[in-house]
Structure 1
Amino acid sequence: MNISRCEQRVLHVLAQGGFIRHQRTDSGRIFEVLCFTREGHILTDCTLEIFSSLRRKRLVESKASSPYRISDKGRRSVRSQLDNR
């Protein structure tokens, strides 16, 4: 599967325990997303376009109106990343 660098970055955050909070309009469409790391920081790379792409590819999912988390397919698709500290 072809996954961009920004999508990979978001998937890594989600795989490490992060989540994506979303807000909907009155008509039910998602208009804002915020990606939180497990430490509570906000990842600025997660835009609405990247979120929509991850949803379309079924790499993130939400169960019972909870925040979006990485799906099993997303876990299998994410590439390993070296810790560059």
Structure 2
Amino acid sequence: MDKCTRELLGFQDESLIFEKDRWFSRGVDKKNRKFNRIDGLYAKVPTHCESCGVLFQSSADYYKHGTIANKRVIQVPEYNG
């Protein structure tokens, strides 16, 4: 995803990482509605556990501590212009 597309969509967080050629796709949901999908990763890992306060030395510690990486859905408003 290039800088201009990021600005148009309002993605200001530099921790959002998108693959070069595979970030955009189209699909159809269960109710036969068409949608556009943007796939990416959130690269910012917290410095400590919010529950117990243990400090994370790396992202590997983050996942070893029992945290499961969840997919996040960010709804982008439809625009037909």
TM-score range normalised by the length of the shorter chain: under 0.3
Higher RCO (CA-CA < 8 Å; seq separation 6+) = 1
* Structure 1 or 2: more helix by fraction: 1
Normalized per residue, the structure richer in strand is: 1
Pick the structure with greater CA Rg. Answer: 2
TM-score, length of structure 2 as denominator length: 0.27
